[in-house]
Structure 1
Amino acid sequence: MWPYVAGFIGGLLAAGMAAAGESYWRRRRRTKWIPQELQRFFRVKDSSRLQVLQKSFPRHMAPDAKRGLDQWLAEQGLAARLVGVPITESFINTTGLSALMAPQGESWYQVSSVEYESFDVGGDAPMECPKHALWLLDGGDAKLALFWTYGTHRVGCNWVERLRIEAGFVMDSPGSGLADQVLARLEEAVHSGHAYRGQVLSLGGEDDYRGNASGVTVHRLRPVARQEIILPEPTLALLERNVVRFAEQRPRLRKFGMSTRKGLLFYGPPGTGKTHSIHYLINVLQGHTTLLITAEQIGSITEYMTLARLLEPCLVVIEDVDLIARRRDESGVGEQCLLNRLLNEMDGLRPDSAITFVLTTNRPDALEAALAARPGRIDQAIEFPLPDAAGREQLIKLYASGASIAPEVVASAVRQTEAVSASFIKELMRRAVQFHLECRPDAESAIILQNDVDQAIEEMLWSGGPLNRALLGAGEGREQP
């Protein structure tokens, strides 16, 4: 009996496998494969008759490339079909049009939906760009396939992600003219830098919890008005003459053969307004792009300077430059290499470049002489001192913000805050309001009283010890009354 059962089961399995195989081949025949689509589109049997031209751009310039492509397509009025290419791995991706047409590609690349990713370009809405997509553009005798893809490639010691756009056409066909036109338009669009011009940017792959693609971070800084800059009048005048008015006079300086690049060093104790003043400059320098570079990103200075030249006029800010520009007898080999890259980029700027470097440090005495003492790199050093009595009075009134404070309380606070930083006074006002609200939880308004200020000063200057005073910018050498 068992032989009959086994034979019966074997027959069922064979029939099932035959049916499954037939179903598989029916599905495969119905599947639209990209190689076959390209062959039908160009009316060729393989890629041997295709010629492919390509352009490669930094990945973060995809929004400008996409804008340029959209404009070109609208102008040409070509019959266009857009399909997705299911490339699942962009790392060291070398897939091109020729590979898409190769027979072995049928196992991997079938026509699919187009995937998009969002690029933050400032404003309210991100820019949507395809990940891996193929345009089939039909102008009658002029046929063009445009392949948009990304890949990570080794450049020197770094891995760099690039946007690669390939234009394919049949040799000696009118499609070659379309290829030249579209690639030229894409290059022009990228060089315009429209998407990022006038913004505050940083390079890098920071986490973006809004779901945008990494590569460029667009910072949305709170605008700082001139009345919020509390500095000695000579310092403020020096700042505005060497940055704001210098930028305004660039065209006339260039006309008379003067250099239009600029290098400034902001120095002073922590919390004295260096970063705050930079935010003011960003706000007032209309039409300028700002690049914010941390010391840890100096290794990417070449990429930053390429972007700065593209987006001129540009303000390049490097905060805490002493972290990589310490005296050579105090720094390691790695720091010296980073410093040399920075110096080479500063020296390599054209005299007529519309680029302003602003470097900041809390330790000017520790800076390498090649940066701080060589003419032509730093044109002006600007000291940001601790606020004097008049400055402290202005800061107290500014940072009291929506709370009221009597003149006699202001005068007392000024006397008790000698040799403190602006950031200390900002925290003092917040702490005083907090003490006030703790005693009056139902208050609809805040009036900072003398007791509120006294409690805040006690906590900030004495309760936390010397370390707390140093962290808050209260200076050294204080004795508790």
Structure 2
Amino acid sequence: MTELSRDEAEAFVQAVVQLASMADRALPQRSSPLTRRLSEHLGGVGDDVSSTSMSVPVVERVNVQLALDAFAASTDRFDVIGLQSDIGNYGGVSLTGMVTGSWHGPGEAARQYVAVDIGVGESIDCLKSGLVLTGIDGEPVVALMYASENYRQELIVEVVGATQAAADGFLARLRELMHEHNAFRGKVVAFSFGMHGEFGLTFVKLPAVGRDDVVLGPGELEAIEAHSIGITEHADGLRAAGQHVKRGLLLYGPPGTGKTHTISYLVGAMRDRTTIILAGGAVGAVGQAGTIARSLQPATIVIEDVDLIAMDRQLPGGDHNALLFQLLNEMDGLAEDADVLFVLTTNRVEMLEPALAARPGRIDQAIEISLPDARARRRLVELYTRRPLDPHNASDDDLVERLDGVAPAFIKELARRAQLVELRGEESSSTSSLVVALDAMLEHATPVLRRSLAGPADD
């Protein structure tokens, strides 16, 4: 037996490794119908496969589907292959592996779809995972779409083309169509969060609020409209004059005075805008909201109780609030011609960071939504009871006077209680249902409220 030299031994080992690698690639190609189908569509592939990919939040699944539907409508070369919906659980899943035959995971499966909302009460069927066989500019491409099962919950789209230009071109076109057909544009959406921080978007139907349904102090509504609706209507003219249209509006005042009610009116009056609502725990999504607003402008970002993330840095703990800096960065980072309106509300304006509340360019207009005066209280009673008060009735005047110091929310509840009094037959010829209801509400009101009203004294 002839002993091999060191160089000969190394060459022999390298040849064995190369043969094993070739066999490993060739065997799946011969045995996998999926690999053969993909290879035939692409016109045959070698070891070097041209590919590109993107990952987006799973919430974008609906926009990927809308983009694919739009692309399918523009071509006669479009086929969909189903894959197992849990394919993201398999390690190393990749389209390049499927095309070259190095993918040892599951193959074709029945197409599975999931209904995803595109509006309130509207949905479309979206492919859970699968392959799209199509082409662009005369060159074949294959696209793989599946949801990763990691904690970030991403949607992966990988594209392989006969050339790199084809792969890049198809993905670029898909992004364009996602933007063009975005399901969130012009809608009202709110954020929701999962236990691992992944976020979703839900479509919101706000109550219909007309201008006559908004009862504020003298000049307050007009000032709010000028800064929101007015700039929206004249955005093009302002840009042409070199003026910016990005802006911030702060509504502050005691609880229940109508801040959220006023926002519902503004959103309804500016229907063509994309509106993102951040409230409660979702206020932490200000970064994601800013990204969506910039992409889908004209847009409005509503942040309820902004003091939760924008507390004065001089207060205990305020200097460690990273969300404050995120909010400031989002407001400062907008382009001058970006039609993005921030509407912020707070019950505790004294706690806000001065760099936010006292700086034009961030908050350009701050309106106090105060407790209603006598005129406003009379209008609110008529609005919520849907009946006029008699201007010459002393009892009605006394009722309006007794409501001095309450918020509109209290008057709205009073109207509901009065209706219950009438349904139960508890009113009398001498005492109106409103008076009966008000007496009962004041009897059980909190001590703070009773001290502020002309009601029963607090023992």
TM-score by length of 1: 0.79
Match of 1:164 among 137, 149, 156: 156
1:423 corresponding residue in structure 2 = 409
Match of 1:313 in 2: 298
CA drift of 1:337 comes to 1.2
Q: What CA deviation, in whole Å up to 9, does each residue of 1:74-125 have, x standing for no partner? A: 22211x332211142647976220233465644x312101111222111543
Would you say 1:95 and 2:93 are equivalent positions?
yes
For residues 217 and 283 of structure 2, the distance between their equivalents in structure 1, rounded to whole angstroms, comes to 32
What do residues 241-267 of structure 1 show as CA deviations (whole Å, max 9, x unaligned)? 111112111111111111111111101
Is 1:119–2:116 an aligned residue pair? yes
Query: Are residues 1:256 and 2:241 paired?
Result: yes
CA distance 1:49–1:104, change in 2 (3 Å): closer
Q: Could you tell me which residue of structure 2 aligns to residue 459 of structure 1?
A: 440
SS in 1 for 2:366: strand
Deviations along 1:381-432, one digit per CA (max 9) or x if unpaired, are 101111111101110010003x686663543321221111101000001001
Report the equivalent of 1:82: 80
Alignment of 1:368-387 (within 5 A): 368-387=353-372
Partner residue, 2:9: none
Sort the Cα spacing of 1:335 and 1:417 in 2 relative to 1 into closer, same or farther, 3 A.
farther
Unaligned 5+ segments in structure 2 are 1-30
C-alpha distance in 2, partners of 1:186/1:461? 61
* Contact 1:54–1:166 (Cα < 8 Å) also in 2: yes
Structure 1 residues 54-69: aligned runs within 5 Å:
54-69=53-68
- Counterpart Cα distance in 2 of 1:406 and 1:477: 23
Q: In terms of mean alpha carbon deviation, does 63-72 or 108-117 score higher?
A: 63-72
The size of the alignment, in residue pairs, is: 424
Q: Does 1:182 align with 2:170?
A: yes
CA deviation string 1:459-479 (max 9, x = no partner): 212224426x4xxxx773655
Between the two proteins, what is the percent identity of the paired residues? 32
Gap runs ≥5 in structure 1: 1-30, 154-158, 208-212, 441-445
Amino acid at match of 1:246: I
In structure 1, distance between residues paired with 2:424 and 2:331: 53
Provide the rounded CA distance (Å) in 2 between the counterparts of 1:367 and 1:302: 19
CA distance in 2, matches of 1:299, 1:135: 37
CA distance in 1, matches of 2:304, 2:146: 35
Worse-matched range after superposition: 291-300 or 220-229:
291-300
Equivalence map 1:212-223=2 (5 Å): 215-223=200-208
Aligned counterparts of 2:301 and 2:137: Cα–Cα separation in 1? 49
1:374 aligns to what SS in structure 2? coil
Shift in alpha-carbon separation, 1:251–1:42, aligned structure 2, 3 A: closer
Deviations 1:112-150, CA, capped at 9 Å, x for gaps: 011112221115430221111112337998432221122
Distance 1:76 1:335, change over 3 A: same
Distance 1:415 1:47 in 2: 86
Cα distance in 1 for partners of 2:429, 2:204 equals: 34
Letter in 2 for 1:162: E
Counterpart of 2:265? 280
Q: CA deviation at 1:335?
A: 5.7
Q: 1:140 to 1:120 in 2, by over 3 A?
A: closer
Q: Give the 3-state SS of the residue equivalent to 1:420 in structure 2.
A: coil
How far 1:177 sits from its partner (Å)?
Answer: 5.7
Structure 2 distance, partners of 1:144, 1:424, is 63
Inter-partner Cα distance in structure 1 for 2:319 and 2:112: 41
Q: CA RMSD in A?
A: 3.2
2:378 to 393, 402, 406: 393
Change (3 A) 1:459 1:270: same
Give the corresponding residue for 1:27: none
Going from structure 1 to structure 2, the CA distance change for 1:475 and 1:359 (only over 3 Å counts) comes to farther
Given that residues 67 and 181 in structure 2 are in contact (C-alpha distance below 8 angstroms), is that contact kept between their aligned partners in structure 1? no
| Moved >6 Å (runs of 4+) | 138-141, 446-449
CA distance in 2, matches of 1:84, 1:226: 51
Contact 1:433 1:448 survives alignment (8 Å) = no
SS at match of 1:95: coil
Residue deviations 1:208-248, cap 9 Å, x none?
xxxxx982111011221001011123111111111111211
Counterparts of residues 30-49 of structure 1 (less than 5 Å): 34-39=34-39, 41-42=41-42, 44=44, 48-49=47-48
Q: How far does residue 183 in structure 1 lie from its aligned partner after superposition? A: 1.9
Residue 215 of structure 2 corresponds to which residue in structure 1? Answer: 230
Residues 190 and 449 of structure 1: CA distance in aligned 2, closer, same or farther (over 3 Å): farther
Q: Is the 8 A contact 1:91 1:151 kept in 2?
A: yes
